[in-house]
């Protein structure tokens, strides 16, 4: 199995999860609350902020030819209207380092974390947020745009809607699932829903002290339909700013997409789930150049709704079903409606067994290759993630990385899966 030389074989990270000390962000503030939902704070993470050159070199040495990373809004605009030139220079250095190693930088402008001040102004349920986001995007693209070819505005723009649906189901099913030893593994990020529910009242008082609001509308908070519209307006405003400042840049966003499978009687539920997760966004994506597809597992549905993972199925550390075949299924289904370029911006597995990671990558890329052979325009594959990192509310307990990190020393150890992934570009 081989791919064209210009096909991206890469890995992905998110700034907050790898850089460390993102002190002006909403997540940093929440991590350090007394009544926090986080198992542990991010701290210095895996110090990618200072060690990015080493990490990029390890990618290049393994054969990878692309790196998807995010620019951190809270670093660049730590206070409303104040932009930090030192921080934008940092990301320029990252882009230039990628170029020096013949690695294509694919930059995401927003990956879950917001400046603390934005949350105090209503966050992702406020009508003002698209304008704030566009202002930030314009600043970034005026300084970085000439160095880039691909930009993703928002990572997993549908995450808030998914969280809202999962939280509602979780309220109803929490006790039964806890008693049976099952967990809801359908959200593609590390949420600690049990602790979130227990902390609600006390945390509301603490959030009022920290943010000036009792309900923090962070990007990954349960989204209302109005908030969902705001996210799309933010995307469109960012897209317009990018095309004004750097018209050569290809623009898109990414979506969290499950392989939704209907069992007999579940066809209606599956269709509604897919509409919520994907098709209702199509009008907002009509002018995009590409779509980032992010898939980790499948969701099976019958007449009662989503079903637990099949008995005896192999599970990842995130309690997802090991199901790399889902990526091909999702690409094919997305391509039925979205006719632009597709890019697999995240796909991966949390496991301590690197042989299973390698098997997952091999199966996933086989599916991608099948899609390309059938004429579906897939531009690249980015494994999540480059490094074992901070998995949001689950802390450092999840190991997705192609590179392990000893956080006491920050020493890196490439896993065999890194070279395995890179071999697809070398073939």
Q: In this structure, are residues 17 and 392 in contact, taking their beta carbons and an 8 Å threshold?
A: yes
Mean pLDDT across the chain: 94
Average pLDDT (22-47) is 96
pLDDT tens-place string over residues 206-252: 999 999 998 899 999 999 999 999 999 999 999 999 999 999 999 99
pLDDT tens-place string over residues 139-197: 999 999 999 999 999 999 999 999 988 777 766 665 555 555 555 545 556 656 565 66
Q: Measuring CA to CA, which residue among 129, 380, 355, 348 is closest to residue 252?
A: 380
Instruction: Tell me what pLDDT residue 181 has.
Output: 56
Instruction: Tell me what pLDDT residue 182 has.
Output: 54
pLDDT tens-place string over residues 96-146: 999 999 999 999 999 999 999 999 999 999 999 999 999 999 999 999 999
Convert 216-282 into a string of H (helix), E (strand) and C (coil). CCCCCCCCCHHHHHHHHHHHHHHHHHHHHHCCCCEEEEEEECCEEEECCCCHHHHHHHHHHHCHHHH
Instruction: Tell me what pLDDT residue 202 has.
Output: 81
Q: How far lies 336's CA from each of 268, 332, 340, 378, in Å?
A: 19, 7, 11, 13
pLDDT band at 1 (very low <50, low <70, confident <90, very high): confident
CB-count burial class (<10 Å; 0-12, 13-18, 19+) for 231: buried
Q: Where are the domains of the chain?
A: 8-426
pLDDT tens-place string over residues 342-400: 999 999 999 999 999 999 999 999 999 999 999 999 999 999 999 999 999 999 999 99
Is 3.40.1280.10 the CATH classification of the domain at 8-426?
A: no
pLDDT tens-place string over residues 66-76: 999 999 999 99
More confident residue, 179 or 420: 420
Distance between CA atoms of 346 and 104, rounded to whole angstroms?
16
pLDDT tens-place string over residues 288-333: 999 999 999 999 999 999 999 999 999 999 999 999 999 999 999 9
Instruction: Tell me what pLDDT residue 201 has.
Output: 76
pTM of full prediction above 0.85: yes
């Amino acid at each position: 199995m081989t791919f064209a030389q210009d096909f991206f074989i890469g890995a992905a990270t998110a700034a907050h999860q790898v850089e460390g000390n993102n002190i002006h962000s909403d997540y940093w503030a929440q991590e350090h609350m007394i009544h926090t939902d986080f198992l542990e704070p991010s701290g210095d993470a895996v110090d990618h902020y200072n060690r990015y050159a080493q990490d990029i070199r390890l990618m290049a040495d393994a054969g990878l030819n692309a790196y998807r990373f995010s620019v951190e809004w809270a670093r660049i605009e730590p206070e409303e209207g104040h932009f930090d030139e030192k921080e934008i220079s940092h990301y320029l250095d990252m882009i230039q380092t990628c170029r020096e190693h013949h690695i294509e930088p694919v930059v995401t402008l927003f990956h879950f974390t917001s400046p603390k001040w934005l949350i105090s102004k209503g966050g992702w349920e406020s009508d003002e947020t698209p304008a704030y986001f566009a202002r930030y995007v314009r600043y970034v693209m005026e300084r970085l745009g000439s160095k880039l070819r691909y930009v993703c505005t928002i990572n997993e723009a549908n995450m808030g809607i998914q969280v809202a649906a999962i939280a509602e189901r979780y309220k109803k099913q929490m006790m039964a699932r806890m008693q049976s030893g099952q967990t809801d593994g359908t959200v593609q990020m590390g949420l600690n829903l049990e602790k979130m529910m227990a902390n609600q009242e006390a945390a509301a008082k603490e959030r009022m002290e920290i943010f000036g609001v009792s309900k923090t509308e962070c990007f990954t908070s349960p989204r209302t339909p109005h908030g969902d519209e705001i996210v799309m307006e933010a995307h469109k405003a960012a897209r317009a700013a990018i095309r004004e400042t750097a018209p050569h840049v290809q623009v898109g966003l990414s979506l969290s997409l499950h392989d939704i499978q209907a069992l007999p009687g579940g066809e209606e539920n599956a269709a509604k789930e897919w509409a919520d997760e994907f098709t209702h966004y199509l009008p907002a994506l009509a002018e995009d150049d590409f779509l980032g597809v992010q898939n980790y597992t499948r969701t099976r549905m019958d007449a009662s709704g989503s079903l637990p993972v099949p008995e005896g199925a192999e599970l990842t550390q995130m309690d997802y079903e090991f199901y790399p075949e889902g990526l091909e299924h999702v690409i094919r289904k997305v391509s039925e409606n979205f006719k632009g370029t597709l890019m697999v911006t995240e796909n991966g597995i949390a496991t301590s067994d690197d042989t299973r990671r390698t098997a997952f990558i091999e199966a996933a890329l086989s599916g991608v290759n099948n899609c390309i052979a059938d004429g579906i325009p897939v531009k690249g594959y980015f494994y999540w993630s480059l490094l074992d990192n901070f998995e949001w509310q689950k802390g450092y307990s999840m190991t997705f990385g192609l590179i392990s990190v000893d956080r006491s020393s920050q020493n890196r150890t490439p896993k065999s899966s890194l070279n395995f992934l890179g071999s697809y570009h070398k073939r």
